[in-house]
Amino acid sequence: MGKTAIITGGGRGIGRAITLALAQKKFNVVVTYVTRRDCGEQTATEVRKLGCEALVVQADVTKRESVRQLISTATGKFGTVDVLVNNAGILQQKLFNTISDEDWDTMLATNLKSVFLCSQEIMPVMVRQRGGSIINISSSGGQLGGMLAVHYAVSKAGVISLTRSLARVGAPDGIRVNCVTPGLIETEMSQKEIRSEVGQQKISKEIPLRRAGQVEEVATAVAFLASDEASYITGQSINVNGGLYMG
């Protein structure tokens, strides 16, 4: 039946590009969504044109029972899950002194707790398979910090730390865990920032390559980490940021 990948939030933006890149590598895919099933179905249609199977599943990855149902559905359909891409996330820009308790809790739940839940629930499946790959999507904001999105930066820094810890946990069972940290990437979510004066200054003064990245450039890194070519790579953060952060 071939290998299978779950991509959370795989119907839009970076997630969509990752889904299609994995399909090009002949992965069957499970795409999750919260409210925009239409995006998931559109992406699934493109996957099927590439000759792979696609399953679109509604899942709230901040809730354990929903995550369990997602994994049960995926394994019921495909038998195994070889790759998990924890891509689902949100961005909110607010001054630090205006961030509410609700803002903080929502950000950490969506961007960090979801990675914990999905990884914890998929690991027994991968242990039984004696291998697998978990790829988490963080952000250069988690490396640099962010004055206008402190809670976002904290959540993404947590993803990097969680990646390193899970790499040690999973290694004895052949489970690799890595992280991709995009910089300023052209997506629906980033268009406002890119078009702003601040965004243009960031591109011209802070990004050595002097441009925003493309979703396909992030997806290429993810597809590599998911492949057997990356079989000796675990616990790493692959920066896809045009030189915005060099570390």
Residues assigned a catalytic role? 152
CB 107 within 8 A of CB 92: yes
Gap between the terminal Cα atoms of the chain: 39
DSSP symbol at 187: S
| The two three-digit tokens of residue 5, written as one number | 């990948």
CB 114 within 8 A of CB 62: yes
CB 197 within 8 A of CB 235: no
d(CA 42, CA 138): 25
Could you tell me the strand order of the sheet in which 132-137 lies? 54-58, 28-33, 4-7, 83-86, 132-137, 175-182, 237-240
CB 102 within 8 A of CB 114: no
Pairing status of strand 28-33 against strand 132-137: unpaired
Is the CA virtual torsion 33, 55, 238, 125 positive or negative? positive
Quick count: other Cβ atoms within 10 Å of Cβ 208? 11
d(CA 37, CA 56): 8
